Structure 1
Amino acid sequence: MLYIRDKSLNSIEHCRLLINEIYWIVLTSLFRHRRVVASSYLCDLAQAFKSFLNVFLGHRPMKTLLKHIPLLIIGSFAISNVVASETFVCNTSEHTVFVNSAHSNEFHYTAWNKPKSITEEPDVLVVGGEEITEGTGVCRTTRWEFNNSNIQYIIRTPVACAENIPPPNATGRLSVFINDKHIKSWWCLE
């Protein structure tokens, strides 16, 4: 949806419509990435951005607002890339798992057993995992390995060259090993 100036509206109403348009551009660009954090976090981020726009741009004249729109649109894609590059979400039939990196490039594995909400305390938290990139072309994959005593958690993405045929909405695969023995694997689904 693109905003087109309606001559019957005053400049404050135009500002509000443009702010809503930019808000939806930001939200849409965040959701286009597969490696994005939980939707509740995205809504909070987009709402904070909308509040910023209301405070920063809501009272300015239309010409000033229009000067800032390209910067805000470019900024929205930059925000979405930052969020996308730092977190991978794996939703399986039994678990919700976040793999994310801190600014120190230290990887964290955070998991909740379903139906537990991600707002509750996680069931598993492992700090200090390793990120490994393998392959080339369409078979290039990223693998995160986390060790917690004798348990190893491995998440792979994408699944284009998986041994088993993945479901069409698969974004990755979670595997659990105990004492180096494969226990179970789940598809990460959108």
Structure 2
Amino acid sequence: MDKKHTRRKKISDNAKATLLRWWIVGMCYFMIGFGTQAGGYTSPIDLIFFLGVGIGLVTIVVYNPIAYNVFDIVRGGEIVNHRYRNKKGWQRALQTLGDLGLSMLVVILVYLSYQNINLFLVGLLGLSPETVVVAGEPFGFATLYTLFYSAITGLTDKLRAIRTGSATVCK
């Protein structure tokens, strides 16, 4: 047999899809946080809103078509690409709303993480309460976003498995 057909993948498709998400989220943070007025306001509500909506829209328009058509994404031992591709119109609309909502939720969690890290460091170092020790930047934001996103989707996959597992037990 030919060697190129027997080689194993060095990097899994899940890792590639996660790296793509990390890069897209970092790019969105850079473009919105540093390239718009939302990044310069004193109130974080604008930045949180525009980041959540922006990342959600880029996920829907850019990430999902690339990731689900190029990579074999495995969750819970099952390839989930067919779940993405074989949806009816109303299911796709619900998924779009879910992606926007999930992006907003994850951005809020990342913001709260930054707030708590800064509050902890200000208290630990005895600095002024207005001091920002760890400022937002694309690499850290994208890393926290990807961690929270992975945790939430992992939890929802576990709940889906429990729901479908208990439904088959009840039959």
TM-score range relative to shorter protein? 0.3 to 0.5
TM-score in terms of structure 2 length: 0.33
TM-score in terms of structure 1 length: 0.30
Q: Tell me which of the two structures has the higher relative contact order, counting C-alpha pairs closer than 8 angstroms and 6 or more residues apart.
A: 2
| Higher percent of residues as helix | 2
Structure with max Cα Rg:
1
